[in-house]
A and B are shown apart, each in its own frame.
Chain A
Amino acid sequence: MKSLAELNAIKEKVLKEKTEAATKSGEIKVLVGMATCGIMAGAMPVMTALMQEVEKRQLKNVAVSQTGCIGLCNYEPIVEVLMPDMPKVTYIKVTPEKAVKIINDHIVNGKVIKEYTVDNIHWNKE
């Protein structure tokens, strides 16, 4: 069986980079709704896709984490993006493919993907 020994080697590097990045550009938070409703709608693969993309691009100031029920269960999986000095953006019905696009367009290039956001719900139709 594998042991945790290798963790020692990556520890120093990781912790140093983390503090440097967070002080430089401010922390960006990405929250995934993970209550019963979110999990059922497929929040788990969305969360993994978000983390894989963040790791792939080495975005050290981005924290991906879980949150509870956001309150719009029929629009799950929901992803919220909180960037410093910007209003919160809520993405609905996110898939792993959309998740990758959110990281690339919104977080890296600062462009909100309007057609995926909660503002795009046509309340009277649904």
Chain B
Amino acid sequence: MREISNHILDILQNSVAAGATLVRTDISYSDDDKKLKVVITDNGKGMDEKTLASVEDPFSTSRKTRSVGLGIPLYKYHAILTGGDFSIKSKLGVGTCVKAVFCTDNIDCMPLGNLVDAILTTISSNHSVRFVFTFKVDDKCFEFDTNDVKDILHNQEGFCDLTVYFYLREFMTSNINKVNGGKLQL
């Protein structure tokens, strides 16, 4: 992984695979302490305590084809490496919350990267899932809810259309840049 956005994309895939119907991605950055917080919350099937205890182990995975799963261990590693923080909370039948904190002034911190594409490709490939995305820098905030788009389109499959996709891409990029105001290196 070269960007934090790649990890976000990866964790979103986990949420979708867990059968979530609502996935929240909350990204916030404070210019005072230079900390970037990424919180992904879903209402998927959740995990029991035993599974939860093993997810940070690279030799644990839910897939059947191979016995390694690197998504979460790598994400944790990259957050901790910056002097940040990482935690997962989960409850069977309720959902999962993955939280990572990156100290962006640390030399080992990856750039946030191409956030818009990470979020939008996941949205367009999983149009039956509701995604809520917030991007906050200090006191400015941008919120994007796929239900707002569905209300306008009256059609869930509207996300599959590329004209809509590229419109939303520009829409999100411009709003994220506005909220960010050059504070966080993207």
What residues of chain A have their CB less than 8 Å away from a CB belonging to chain B?
1-2, 4, 6-8, 10-11, 13-15, 18, 34-36, 39-40, 44, 47-48, 51-52, 54-55, 63-66, 68-69, 71
Contacts and interface: CB of A to CB of B under 8 A. Distances in A.
Given A15-B153, A55-B162, A7 B167 contact: yes
B59 interface: no
The list of the 6 closest CB pairs from A to B, nearest first, reads A66-B125, A55-B162, A65-B125, A36-B71, A7-B152, A14-B161
A10 B163 contact: yes
26 contacts: A1-B175, A1-B178, A1-B179, A4-B171, A7-B149, A7-B164, A8-B152, A10-B163, A10-B167, A11-B152, A14-B158, A15-B153, A15-B155, A34-B125, A35-B10, A39-B6, A40-B1, A40-B6, A44-B118, A51-B166, A52-B166, A55-B162, A63-B160, A65-B124, A65-B125, A66-B13
Nearest to B65: A71
A44 B9 contact: yes
Interface string B1-39: 100011001100100010000000000000000000000
Contact of B9 (A15, A39, A65): A39
A11 B153 contact: yes
A53 to B, nearest CB: 10
A34 B13 contact: yes
A91 B108 CA distance: 34
A108 to B, nearest CB: 15
Interface of B: 1, 5-6, 9-10, 13, 17, 63, 65, 69-71, 74, 114, 117-118, 121-122, 124-126, 142, 148-149, 152-153, 155, 157-158, 160-168, 171, 174-175, 178-179
Contact of B121 (A1, A15, A34): A34
Contacts of A44: 5-6, 9, 114, 117-118, 121
Most buried by B among A8, A44, A52: A44
B171 A68 contact: no
Contacts of A6: 167
Contacts of B122: 66
Most buried by B among A4, A8, A47: A4
A45 B86 CA distance: 27
A47 B167 CA distance: 17
Contacts of A52: 166
Contacts of A1: 142, 175, 178-179
